Amino acid sequence: MKTLLVIDVQNDFIPGGSLSVPNGDKIVPVINSIKDTFDLIVATQDWHPKEHSSFAVNHDGKSDFDRIEWRGNMQTLWPEHCVQGSVGAELHPELDTTKYEAIFRKGTDKAIDSYSAFYDNNHLKATGLTGYLKEKGATQLYFCGLASDICVYFSICDAVKEGFDCYFIEDASKPLDVEAFEAIKSKMLAMGVRIITSESLYY
């Protein structure tokens, strides 16, 4: 089953949001245009409590984008974003979600960040997405969304480990750090991920 995973296309990651990805809004029409080429579409949302440990404001003396050691990992401290129930946490209003069968929320535990759609950053808590996809008979996963170098990338890493055949739709995604993402693309290719454009889905 050909499955599209739409990762975190939320207002706070769009230009004007609290943690905006450059040109993040440009991917919305691309994602809308490819939806009918898939058998199953699933979206994810960052869904943080206001006290989330990844927010710089919750660490005395720390600033946005500082890095600290947290629970055995290096943690980037982010601007407050995608707070549960906020407008910033909502999916972009122009995203056509009519064919989306499920939305998986992540980052709900205030004590640990969760970039991947499948697990928290310490792999202690699963979202249940693996089981859902396997129950649906999904084998080929196509990834798009925000941001390519963080949540999309970590989701792909876990999907590969879970045995899925993975594709990354580059023009339906945008990175937070364009330069860093060039090295990440090389890592994807080394994992066997195929990097494609939306146009190739029609052939």
Residues known to be catalytic: 8, 106, 151
Give the amino acid at 155.
Answer: S
Which tokens go with 11? Answer: 């207002």
- Which residues, including other chains, have CB under 8 Å from residue 38's CB and lie 6 or more apart? 2, 3, 4, 99, 142
Query: CA-to-CA distance for 166 and 193, rounded, in angstroms?
Result: 5
- Which residues, including other chains, have CB under 8 Å from residue 181's CB and lie 6 or more apart? 148, 149, 175
Cα angle for residues 181, 73, 130 (degrees, 5° grid): 70
The answer to whether 6 and 104 have CB atoms below 8 angstroms apart is: no
Cα angle for residues 46, 48, 50 (degrees, 5° grid): 150
Give the orientation angle of helix 153-161 with respect to helix 178-190, to 10 degrees: 10
Query: Given phi > 0 = left and psi -120 to 50 = alpha, else beta, which region is 8?
Result: left
Half-sphere exposure (Cβ direction) of 102: Cα atoms closer than 13 Å: 17
